[in-house]
């Protein structure tokens, strides 16, 4: 184990997988000479050369398609989106080419590609550069979608994503790149896709959260504990395929559920989680499932409006108290 940043953990995963498999290459804007807009690919050009660390012009659809084409004949590209907002330009390639090729070819052409980069709310970057993008992808059969919340998860999940034989959308966060944590240095360390983790065990309420929202829940946990509410915090880690069993098992224990997500609530991740909890564990529930979501608005620039857009610690705590009938609700 070593303590390192989330950014360094991603970098280590890329380096190890490129050392392990010559078919793995990195492609995207500013990944080589500039060493990544967020420095995730730092040092890779020097170690692996321009053939395997490929700088592209600004053409997301084009270079994502290049990755998919290379994957069709057996390479394992890691496509960097400078930010996931730009992946919208490549949405047709990701959905219509990458996700569906295996199916519409009757199992002849799988696409082992990772599309990664930062997404989610950032700091005062306004509407086009600060938004939760996962909902655009987890709806699509054929894609896997990962949101790694910790440095160790960033490393272990990225390595699994690169080794996966399917297209994996891997959305990091600008606000987490500097977060530090313990990370196994063993190159054999991986975390399987599709496995949730119970971050904190508790008795009274299951809270499902990931990325920045997960940290907000952790910040509130001690205070709520003092109020007599014991939180069980579940981080799905992979949004598709989702480990529904871990969430359901937790709800069966606590009988209450709160889902927190940064993105807009309408048809968001919380909608799906609330739906399968209701379908599978209705009789176990002691309160309606509560969702705490981002406002149904584009991201504003002004600091106060931006703060109001994503779920605050206060809103999260209120929702947890509400399902425990402890705020007069």
Partner 1 sequence: MAQGTLATSGVDTGLARHLLSQMVLIRRFEEKAAENYALGKIGGFLHLYIGQEAVAVGATSVLQPDDYAISHYREHGHCLAKGSDPRRVMAELFGRRDGLSHGKGGSMHLFDKSTNFLGGHAIVGAHLPLAAGVAFGIKYEGRDRVIVCYFGEGAVPQGEFHESMNLAALWRLPVIYICENNRYAMGTPVERALAEPNIWRFAQTYGIPGEAVDGMDVLAVREVVGRAVARARRDHEPTLVEARTYRFRGHSMRDPAGAIYRTRDEVEREKLRDPIVLFRQRCLTEGALTEADVKAIEKDVNDLVDEAVAFADASPEPPLEWLLTDIYKTED
To the nearest 10°, report the CA torsion of 208, 132, 196, 23: -170
The verdict on 94 binding partner 1 (CB under 8 A) reads no
Q: Looking at beta carbons only, is 67 or 268 nearer to partner 1?
A: 67
| Site for partner 1 contains 85 (CB under 8 A) | no
160 contributes a contact to partner 1 by CB under 8 A: no
Which residues, at least 6 apart from 23, have a Cβ–Cβ distance to it below 8 Å?
A: 74, 75, 76
Q: How far is the CB of 169 from partner 1 (least distance, A)?
A: 13
CA–CA separation, 54 and 283 (whole Å)? 54
Contact call for residues 246 and 196 (beta carbons, < 8 A): yes
- 160: three-class secondary structure by DSSP: helix
Q: Does residue number 103 form part of the binding site for partner 1 (CB under 8 A)?
A: yes
Only one of the segments 68-76, 152-160, 179-187, 201-209 lies at the binding site for partner 1 (rule: CB under 8 A); that segment is 68-76
Q: Establish if 75 lies at the interface with partner 1 (CB under 8 A).
A: yes
Locus of tokens 């295996």: 102
Applying CB under 8 A, does 105 fall inside the site for partner 1?
A: yes
Q: How far is the CB of 65 from partner 1 (least distance, A)?
A: 2
Instruction: Judge whether 129 counts as a catalytic residue.
Output: yes
Q: What values do phi and psi take at 143, rounded to 5?
A: -100, 145
Q: Tell me the site size for partner 1, rule CB under 8 A.
A: 40
- Position among 85, 135, 166, 254 found at the interface with partner 1 (CB under 8 A): 166
Contacting residue, 37, 40, 68, 257, with partner 1 by CB under 8 A: 68
From residue 234 to residue 263, the character string flagging contacts with partner 1 as x (rule: CB under 8 A) and all else as - is -------x----------------------
- Is residue 270 a contact point for partner 1 (CB under 8 A)? no
Which residue out of 16, 35, 60, 306 is catalytically annotated?
Answer: 60
Read out DSSP for 191-239?
A: --TT--EEEE--SSEEEE--HHHHHHHHHHHHHHHHTT--EEEEE-SEE
Q: What are the start-end ranges of the E strands in the chain?
A: 2-5, 24-28, 53-55, 76-80, 114-118, 144-146, 168-172, 180-183, 197-200, 205-208, 231-235, 238-240, 257-264, 290-294
User: Could you say whether residue 47 binds partner 1 (CB under 8 A)?
Assistant: no
Stretch that binds partner 1, among 69-77, 209-217, 228-236, 261-269 (CB under 8 A): 69-77
Please name which of 222, 72, 220, 213 lies closest in space to residue 149, comparing C-alpha atoms.
213
Rule CB under 8 A: is residue 307 a binding residue for partner 1? no
| Lookup: tokens for 301 | 């620039």
Judged by CB under 8 A, the residue of 1, 2, 3, 104 near partner 1 is 104
**Does the annotation count 219 as an active-site position?**
no
34 binds partner 1 (CB under 8 A): no
**Which among 321, 322, 328, 329 is positioned nearest to 229, based on CA atoms?**
321
Between residues 22 and 288, which has the closer beta carbon with respect to partner 1? 22
Shorter beta-carbon distance to partner 1: residue 52 or 315: 52
Q: Assess contact for 202 and 234: CB atoms under 8 A.
A: no
Enumerate binding residues for partner 1 (CB under 8 A): 25, 51, 56-57, 59, 61-75, 92-93, 96-97, 101-110, 141-142, 144, 165-166, 241
């Amino acid at each position: 184990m070593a303590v390192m940043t989330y950014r360094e953990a991603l970098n280590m995963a890329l380096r190890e997988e490129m050392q392990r498999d010559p078919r793995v290459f990195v492609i995207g804007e500013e990944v080589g000479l500039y060493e990544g807009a967020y420095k995730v690919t730092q040092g890779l050009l020097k170690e692996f050369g321009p053939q395997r660390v490929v700088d592209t012009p600004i053409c997301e659809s084009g270079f994502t398609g290049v990755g998919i084409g290379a994957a069709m004949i057996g390479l394992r590209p890691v496509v960097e989106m400078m930010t996931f907002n730009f992946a919208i330009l490549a949405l047709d390639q990701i959905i219509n080419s990458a996700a569906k090729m295996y199916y519409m070819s009757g199992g002849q052409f799988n696409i082992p590609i990772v599309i990664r980069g930062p997404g989610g709310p950032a700091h005062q970057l306004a509407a086009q550069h600060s938004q939760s993008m996962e909902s655009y992808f987890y709806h699509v059969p054929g894609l896997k979608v990962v949101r790694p919340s910790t440095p160790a998860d960033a490393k272990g999940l990225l390595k699994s994503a690169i080794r996966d034989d399917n297209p994996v959308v891997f959305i990091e966060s600008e606000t987490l790149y500097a977060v530090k944590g313990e990370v196994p240095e063993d190159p054999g360390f991986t975390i399987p896709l599709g496995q949730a983790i119970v971050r904190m065990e508790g008795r009274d309420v299951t809270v499902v959260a990931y990325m920045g929202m997960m940290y907000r829940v952790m910040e509130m946990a001690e205070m709520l504990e003092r109020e007599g509410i014991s939180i069980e915090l579940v981080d799905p880690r992979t949004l598709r395929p989702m480990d529904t069993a871990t969430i359901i098992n937790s709800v069966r224990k606590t009988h209450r559920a709160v889902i927190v997500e940064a993105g807009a609530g309408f048809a968001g991740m919380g909608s799906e989680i609330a739906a399968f909890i209701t379908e599978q564990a209705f009789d176990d529930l002691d309160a309606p499932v509560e969702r705490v979501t981002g406002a149904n608005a584009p991201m504003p620039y002004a600091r106060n409006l931006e703060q109001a857009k994503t779920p605050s610690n206060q809103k999260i705590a209120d929702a947890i108290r509400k399902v425990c009938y402890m705020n007069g609700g």
